[in-house]
Copies of this chain bind each other. A is one copy, B any other.
């Protein structure tokens, strides 16, 4: 349980990680810890030494959420002199998702001029609102543009597209999380980080998403345009 005065609850002052667990084994846990610690550096929060993973089911695929909250103390926005950060966990069955139906969020833009746009903070309401809008329009995931109108990411995934066999993704400066799967894909394959508008997606041969739970996820529909399966997306999905 979390105190009602916990800064993670009252202010969204904290970070989280979503770790895929397969048959009792957390995947890429050290990468998640490293990203969490890097986020603490940016946010001015104390860094956890490790992630003391709780007891996990021995079979199946779960989503382990690791919350690192700034904890209690301080008046209003001001953090206490010594921040007592706390780690909590929640566990859920990992979703089994097919190809995504993506709709561009019109009601909310991503703020590349906030450090939070490159972090998984407990202040995630922009992503919630983008997802709500997408679902209301019959899609199941949102494409988020940043305040400059550049393509950034999905509400809960990084964004990639393919054109003429080349792989592209928005650069971090666009307000993009340094996704674990995004990083692994960029280590294993040549990916071009670019600053681009929605016209780049309109001209793409294929669009796909990545995150820790679903790996590579094809996009089959984008703002009313059907996208055919692409062999490179399928190859990337099995390569990771």
Contacts and interface: CB of A to CB of B under 8 A. Distances in A.
Interface of A: 1-13, 16, 43-44, 63, 65, 67, 69, 75-79, 88-90, 92, 95, 107-109, 111-116, 121-129, 131-132, 135, 147, 155-156
Contact of A123 (B3, B7, B75, B125): B125
A42 to B, nearest CB: 9
A173 B92 CA distance: 39
Interface centre among A7, A112, A129 (most CB of B within 10 A): A129
Contact of A77 (B63, B90, B127): B127
A125 B3 contact: no
A56 to B, nearest CB: 16
A33 B50 CA distance: 43
Given A2-B1, A109-B114, A126-B116, A132 B79 contact: yes
Contacts of A111: 109, 111, 113-114, 126, 147
B79 A122 contact: no
A147 B113 contact: yes
Given A2-B2, A76-B156, A125 B132 contact: no
B95 A114 contact: no
Contacts of A9: 2, 6, 8-9, 67, 69, 122
Contacts of A107: 115
A125 B11 contact: yes
Contacts of A90: 4-5, 10
B109 A77 contact: no
Contacts of A4: 1-2, 67, 88-90
Nearest to A125: B123
Contacts of A115: 107-108, 129
A125 to B, nearest CB: 4
Nearest to A112: B147
B126 A114 contact: yes
